[in-house]
Amino acid sequence: MIVLTMARLLRKFEAPARGVLCRSCFSESRRYVTDAKVHGTGFLTERVWDAVIVGGGHNGLTAAAYLARAGLQVAVLERRHVLGGAAVTEEIVPGFKFSRASYLQSLLRPGIIQELDLTRHGLKLLPRNPSSFTPTVDGRFLLMGPDSKLNEAEISKFSKHDAAAYPKYEHMLEKFCSVMDPLLDTVPPEAAMGGTSLAGRMADGWSKSKVLGSLLKRSSKLKQHEITSFMELLLAPASKVLNNWFESDVLKATLATDAVIGAMASVHTPGSGYVLLHHVMGETNGSRGIWSYVQGGMGAVSTAIAKAASEAGATLATNVEANQFLMDSESRVGKEIAGVILVDGSEVRAKQVLSNATPAVTFLKLMPESVLDEEFLTSVKSIDYKSGTTKINIAVDRLPMFRACSRTDNTAGPEHCGTIHLGADCMDEIDIAYREALLGRASSRPLIEMTIPSVLDETIAPPGKHVINLFIQYTPYDLKTGNWQDQETRDAFAKTCFDLIEEYAPGFSSSIIGYDMLTPPDLERVLGLTGGNIFHGAMGLDALFLLRPLKGWSGYRTPVKGLYMCGAGAHPGGGVMGAPGRNAASVVLKDMQKG
- Write out pLDDT tens, residues 156-180: 999 999 999 999 999 988 888 888 8
What is the reported pLDDT for 209? 60
What is the reported pLDDT for 40? 96
For residue 161, which phi and psi values (nearest 5 degrees)? -60, -45
> Identity (one letter) of the amino acid at 120?
R
Query: Cβ(255)–Cβ(261) under 8 Å?
Result: no
What is the reported pLDDT for 178? 85
Domain segments of the chain as ranges: 2-11+126-296+385-527, 32-88+298-383+538-594
Residue 203 has pLDDT above 70, yes or no: no
Residue 424 has pLDDT above 50, yes or no: yes
What is the reported pLDDT for 180? 86
Question: Structure pTM?
Answer: 0.92
Q: Where are the alpha helices (DSSP H) in 46-147?
A: 58-69, 110-115
Tell me the average pLDDT of the chain: 90
Nearest to 245 by CA among 166, 156, 176, 148: 166
Nearest to 88 by CA among 21, 23, 28, 14: 21
Residue 333 has pLDDT above 50, yes or no: yes
Q: Give pLDDT tens digits for 560-572.
A: 999 999 999 999 9
DSSP strand E in 356-478: where?
Answer: 389-396, 419-422, 447-451, 466-473
What is the reported pLDDT for 223? 82
Residue 28 has pLDDT above 50, yes or no: no
Kindly report the number of other CB atoms within 10 A of residue 551's CB atom. Answer: 12
Q: How far, in Å, CA of 574 to CA of 106, rounded? A: 12
What does each C-alpha distance from 242 to 45, 250, 398, 540 come to in angstroms?
Answer: 55, 11, 36, 18
What is the reported pLDDT for 290? 82
Q: Is 403 exposed, middle or buried (0-12, 13-18, 19+ CB in 10 A)?
A: middle
Give the range among 19-23, 39-43, 327-331, 356-360 with minimum mean pLDDT: 19-23
What is the rounded average pLDDT of the residues 227-250?
Answer: 92
Q: How far, in Å, CA of 90 to CA of 48, rounded? A: 33
**404 confidence band (pLDDT: 50, 70, 90):** very high
What does each C-alpha distance from 113 to 253, 425, 570, 582 come to in angstroms?
Answer: 33, 37, 20, 12
What is the reported pLDDT for 255? 95
Q: How far, in Å, CA of 474 to CA of 389, rounded? A: 6
Residue 7 has pLDDT above 70, yes or no: no
Query: Cβ(569)–Cβ(61) under 8 Å?
Result: no
Q: How far, in Å, CA of 159 to CA of 124, rounded? A: 37
Helices (H) and strands (E) in the chain, counts: 20, 21
What is the reported pLDDT for 220? 73
What is the reported pLDDT for 594? 83
What is the reported pLDDT for 12? 35
For residue 532, which phi and psi values (nearest 5 degrees)? 80, 10
What's the distance, CA 56 to chain centroid? 14
Query: Cβ(435)–Cβ(266) under 8 Å?
Result: yes
**86 confidence band (pLDDT: 50, 70, 90):** very high
What is the rounded average pLDDT of the residues 295-316?
Answer: 98
What's the distance, CA 530 to chain centroid? 13
What is the reported pLDDT for 211? 63
What is the reported pLDDT for 210? 63
Query: Cβ(383)–Cβ(540) under 8 Å?
Result: no
Query: Cβ(159)–Cβ(248) under 8 Å?
Result: yes
Residue 139 has pLDDT above 90, yes or no: yes
Structure-model confidence comparison of residues 223 and 280, the more confident one: 223
Percentage of the chain lying above the pLDDT 90 cut: 77
Residue 30 has pLDDT above 60, yes or no: no
Query: Cβ(65)–Cβ(580) under 8 Å?
Result: no
Tell me the CB-side half-sphere exposure of residue 297, using CA atoms within 13 A: 26
Nearest to 242 by CA among 445, 424, 503, 439: 424
Residue 394 has pLDDT above 60, yes or no: yes
What does each C-alpha distance from 229 to 4, 169, 173, 244, 470 come to in angstroms?
Answer: 53, 11, 10, 10, 33
User: Could you tell me which residues come within 8 angstroms of residue 372 by beta carbon, excluding any fewer than 6 positions away?
Assistant: 335, 363, 559, 560
Q: How far, in Å, CA of 533 to CA of 555, rounded? A: 22
**439 confidence band (pLDDT: 50, 70, 90):** very high
What is the reported pLDDT for 244? 95
Q: How far, in Å, CA of 563 to CA of 560, rounded? A: 6
Query: Cβ(581)–Cβ(356) under 8 Å?
Result: yes
What 3-state DSSP class applies to 436?
A: helix
- CATH number for the region 32-88+298-383+538-594 comes to 3.50.50.60
Continuous segment of H or E residues that includes residue 143: strand 141-144
Give the range among 272-281, 394-403, 530-539 with minimum mean pLDDT: 272-281
**204 confidence band (pLDDT: 50, 70, 90):** low
What is the rounded average pLDDT of the residues 520-548?
Answer: 95
Q: Where are the alpha helices (DSSP H) in 415-510?
A: 427-438, 487-504
What is the reported pLDDT for 205? 55
Residue 6 has pLDDT above 50, yes or no: no
Q: How far, in Å, CA of 289 to CA of 173, rounded? A: 9
Residue 183 has pLDDT above 70, yes or no: yes
